[in-house]
Amino acid sequence: MSFKDYLESTLTKSDFNRVWDSFFKPKSVGFYLNLLKFNKDEIILSLNNLGVEITEFLPNFYICDAKFKDTLTHSEIFNKGAIYIQNPSSYLAALALNPNRDDMVLDMCASPGGKSIALANMMGQGANLAVMESDTKRFYTLKSNLNKYGCEWVRTYNKDARSISRTCQNKFDKILLDAPCSSYSHFGDGFVEKSAKEIKLISRLQKQLLNSALSALKPGGVVVYSTCTFFECENEEVVQNALNSKFDITIDKISFGLSVEIISEFGLKILPDCNMDAFFLAKIIKNS
């Protein structure tokens, strides 16, 4: 079954038409403010001086028209690390985790670092945040971005995140697992589709990573599992696999009040539109 056929079989006709059209149209540009190094009013003033018309879309997260993308990416405030450009769907993962200053937090598959830096902003300078990335090249990209955005204090590990099931049992209060996925939220001209075999292997890795996250989570702690794809085998089935495992867990309902949300017993699905990429989130509580 082609991806287009899969979407048609899983969405209503109106949702399918809207989603399919979104793949071939420019999206607004999203970004959050890096308040670890810069003052909010100064950043907003700099944006106004650039002529960029912004709208606050989520807490500390703004969007602007796609025509301003080059203006932002070539600006001093971007080069100095005052803003981090990111799709708002990705930012939802950090919002869903909602870390506190005193939490011990892990970002399991962290490169290039956008969610890690968002978590650092929510927790504050010097908070107990660790990040992991298994791929060496991507790890150094992560390190570079953390340094650029004033997060040198974040602990970094160039390791396979599945290892924490052995080395970090019952250690973390909150864990973000933005898992490697087939990335079909970026479908469009030039997108290279994956085979059924490739997607099956990705799904197996996702299940292993979530199992490790639950092992490393303290009783009473929270894991946010997320992907940027549509397939049930990478989303709902991964969560179902965790529910069928040895862990005593509960799926906590998530909603941000967005018109593109589809809420199920397994989590929250974001349908893409002119602002948002496709995204899936599940907030999982490890029961005491």
Q: Which residue bears the tokens 């879309």?
A: 57
Which SS3 state, helix, strand or coil, does residue 85 take? strand
Identify the bridge partners of residue 105 per DSSP, sorted by sequence position: 129, 174
| Phi, then psi, of 36 in degrees rounded to 5 | -70, -30
Query: How far is 229 from 244, CA to CA, in rounded Å?
Result: 22
Token representation of residue 225: 């599992």
Token representation of residue 217: 């989570």
Identify the bridge partners of residue 130 per DSSP, sorted by sequence position: 106, 155
Beta carbons within 8 Å of 202's beta carbon, 6+ residues apart: 180, 181, 182, 194, 234
Out of 151, 181, 228, 233, the active site residue is: 228
The amino acid that residue 27 corresponds to is K
Beta carbons within 8 Å of 193's beta carbon, 6+ residues apart: 3
Is 228 a known active-site residue?
yes
Query: How far is 60 from 36, CA to CA, in rounded Å?
Result: 12
Annotate 228-282 with DSSP letters as a single string. S---GGGTHHHHHHHHTSSS-EEEEP-----TTEEEETTEEEE---SSPPPEEEE
Token representation of residue 284: 């999982």
Which SS3 state, helix, strand or coil, does residue 57 take? strand
Count CA atoms closer than 13 A to 178's CA, side-chain side: 26
Cα torsion 103, 212, 154, 278 to 10°: value is -90
Active-site annotation, residues:
228
